[in-house]
Structure 1
Amino acid sequence: MYHQRYAQIASDSSQSARVREKEALEKAISKLATAKLKGPLTAESFEATDFVRRLWSVFISDLCNEENGLPAELRASLISIGFWVRREADAIDRGDSANFDGIIDINRIIADGLA
């Protein structure tokens, strides 16, 4: 009986985490969409890139944890994606890129996978 209850709590907790992650990604997408309209090197752009960098830093930290329940290969792929997102955000901040669409698309794909 206790094992079943623990499994249910663990499952609920995992589902809650997925919902929070999806919401955070959707917030990042919204900020990036606004930044795309305003353009690089604007306050909106810096706010969006800062948010997405901090979000992916949290994701990467969690993915690096051996206790993360995802398969190692998937974790490695997501970590690589996170590094790419952060590099693209840095390039936007420097004025070397305006690749908001690329970051939006990646975040959308990940968010859709959490549904």
Structure 2
Amino acid sequence: MSGIDAYKKTINQTATSRDTEYRLLAQVTSELMKAIDNKKGAANDPSKMAQVASALNWNKQVWDVFVEDCGTAGNQLPRDLRAAIVSLGIWVTKETAIALEGEGDLDSLVAVNRDIMKGLKPSQAPDSQPAPRPGGSVSSILDQA
């Protein structure tokens, strides 16, 4: 087992689904922020264009998994929250398609991710740590990294 595999195994065993989802959103949001900077010169620079497309596609993939996870039988999130996540996922898909055509607002995608991260971030107080949430399909994306 390589060092990276051992690290992933340890993370998967010790991190809650919320922690994993927060970390994943932080990573993809960081790439979206780089894409905002690269978008300005992407029309004349294939490497910048590739980074923008990669960040947008990765973000969409994350949201596709969130939407799929909301539809699984074991998901214990409240129905209204699952519906809201699905609605956001649909919006992300549409906004991503627009952005890949050279339009769209990457800042809005970043803002949505940050808002979700605020809800996932555990409180600093040890007594108020959130309970692990069943589901956890997001960790499969991290396994691909």
Q: Mapping of 1:1-115 within 5 angstroms?
A: 16-39=16-39, 42-97=49-104, 99-115=105-121
Q: TM-score, normalised by structure 1?
A: 0.82
Q: CA deviation at 1:90?
A: 1.1
- Say whether the 8 Å CA contact 1:32–1:49 is kept in structure 2: yes
Moved more, 85-94 or 28-37: 85-94
> Counterpart amino acid of 2:34?
T
CA deviations 1:46-105 (Å, max 9, x no partner) are 0101100110111100001132110101100111011111211111111132x1110000
Aligned CA-pair RMSD: 1.5
Rounded Cα–Cα distance in structure 2 between residues aligned with 1:29 and 1:104: 6
Secondary structure, aligned partner of 2:66: helix
Q: Distance in 1 between matches of 2:32 and 2:90?
A: 17
Instruction: State the 1:112 CA deviation.
Output: 1.1
How many residue pairs are counted as aligned between the two chains? 101
Distance, in Å, in 2 between the alignment partners of 1:66 and 1:75 is 12
* Structure 1 residue ranges without an equivalent (≥5): 1-12
- Structure-2-length-normalised TM-score: 0.66
CA contact (8 A) 1:52 1:86 kept: no
Q: Kindly report structure 1 stretches of 4+ aligned residues shifted beyond 6 Å.
A: none
Once the 2 structures are TM-superposed, how far is the Cα of residue 26 of structure 1 from its aligned partner? 0.6
Q: Which amino acid aligns with 1:83?
A: I
Structure with the higher helix share, 1 or 2? 1
Residues of 2 paired with 1:66 and 1:102: CA distance?
A: 31
